[in-house]
Structure formats: C-alpha cells, structure tokens
Amino acid sequence: METFKLGKHELQIPAVCGSVMGLDIKTMRAGAAKAIDQGADLIELRIDGLRDPTGWEKLLPLKLPVILANRPDREGGNFKGDENERVKVLLQGITRGVSCVDIEFSTPEPLRERVVSRARKSGIAVLMSHHDFSLTPSIEVLTEMTKRLAGAGCDLAKIVTFAEDRKDALRVLDFLAQVQDEVAVPIIAFAMGDAGRITRIAAPVFGSPIAYAAAGEATAPGQFDVVTMKRLLSELIPKGR
C-alpha cells in the first residue's frame, strides 16, 4: 500500500483527516476526541475558529498526527488580524512538535519563508495551500499554481477550488490525474460546494494523499463527516490495492 511522510509519521494513502474547529478550547478538544473515536488517521486543528486563541496549545499533544492551520479570511478562514500574529501560532505549533503546519501561499513571503525554514529545521512537514472560493480555473492555471507552491519549499501542496457545476468537478480530477507527473511533492486537490462534493471522495483515487472530513461541524462547504468518508473510501479503495 502506498504511503507518504508527514513530519516524523508515515501514513497510508488515503489518510482521512478529521478537521476540528470550535469557538473555544473545550469544543475543539471534544472535536479532536470525536475524530479519534471515529477512526481518523490524523487531525487538522483550525485555530482560526477560536474566539480567543490564547492557550490553544492546551489541545496538544494528541494521539494522532496533527496538521495545524490558522486560516485567514481571504482564503475562507476566520482570522482577520495581523499576519504576524496569525503566523505566530504556526511557529508556536512547530515549537510544540505538531506533525505539519498549513501555510497559505498568499502569506507575505518573508513570513512564509520563516515558517518553512523553522519547520524544516525541526523536522516538521509544511503543507502549502491555495484556496479559491469563487471558481475552478483551467488545468493550466491550476498546474502553474501548484508548481509555485512546490517551488516555495513545501512537502505537500494543497489546491482547493469552488465547483459551480459538474464540469468544474471533473476539471479538478483531471488536473489531479495530470499534475502528478509535473510536480515532485504529493498533491492534495478537491473542489468545495455541492457540485464539488464528489471530488472529496474521488480525489484519493487520483492520487490525493489526504481526504478531509468533519469531526463535528463542517469546516468547509460540501465536507463529509469522518465516518462517512472512511466508509466510502474503503469501498472505493480496498486495502492492499
């Protein structure tokens, strides 16, 4: 079975990531526990959902590998403050030994490079992401963006678009099937929205190593819950394929 590296961890493909978001630490802790109980392979902590991020580190450590994200509002997140403060959370996560940090390509370059450098020195994986909540561009545009992410020093690249119809959803899957030969790092790609929902299930068939699912309230449009995602993937991609 194929695997991929996430910091010090080696995970089987596809790995189901339970996305956890909440207004307070207690809610997020409950969400993480639920993701573990439901059989998630790793957990995404969305710190941008907290009303007050002070003390977010109390969520660590967890029994599963952790991707730490602090998503800005320009890319669909809830963080509206200063970029230095936003990135500070990711740097704290590296110090605390999370498995991976998710840094948006749109982050000012000096801050982005600081995160990449610090993570590399600490053996922490860098997932570099790009979110488009308005449309699904052409395959050529998506491929060029992916190359820019890979060139910025990430270990995994994540491209997320919004699908208005089935043609958009098909384009994302076609892009994923083609881009694997163009870029050296693993590519996570899918489309949000009702029309893009099928891509969350189909993307792992085309090589996407991580499938995101909700551990409680959905963190993005069209997201499945962990149990449903694991069941559907087990039927599409039998163990030992």
Residues tagged active-site: 131, 158
How many residues are present in the chain? Answer: 241
**Residues 70-104: b if buried by 16+ CB within 10 A, e if exposed:** bbbeebbbbbeeeeeebbebbbbbbeeebbbbbbb
Q: Which long-range contacts (CB under 8 A, 24 or more apart) does 198-202 make?
A: 198/169, 199/163, 199/169, 199/172, 199/173, 200/224, 200/229, 201/229, 201/232, 201/233, 201/236, 202/173, 202/236
- Please state, in angstroms and rounded to a whole number, the distance separating the CA atoms of residues 60 and 133: 30
∠ CA(196), CA(99), CA(102), 5° rounding? 45
Peptide bond preceding 14: is omega within 30 degrees of 0, i.e. cis?
yes
The residue type at 149:
L
In 3-state terms, what secondary structure has residue 15?
Answer: strand
In 3-state terms, what secondary structure has residue 218?
Answer: coil
Query: In 10 A of CB 225, how many CB atoms?
Result: 18
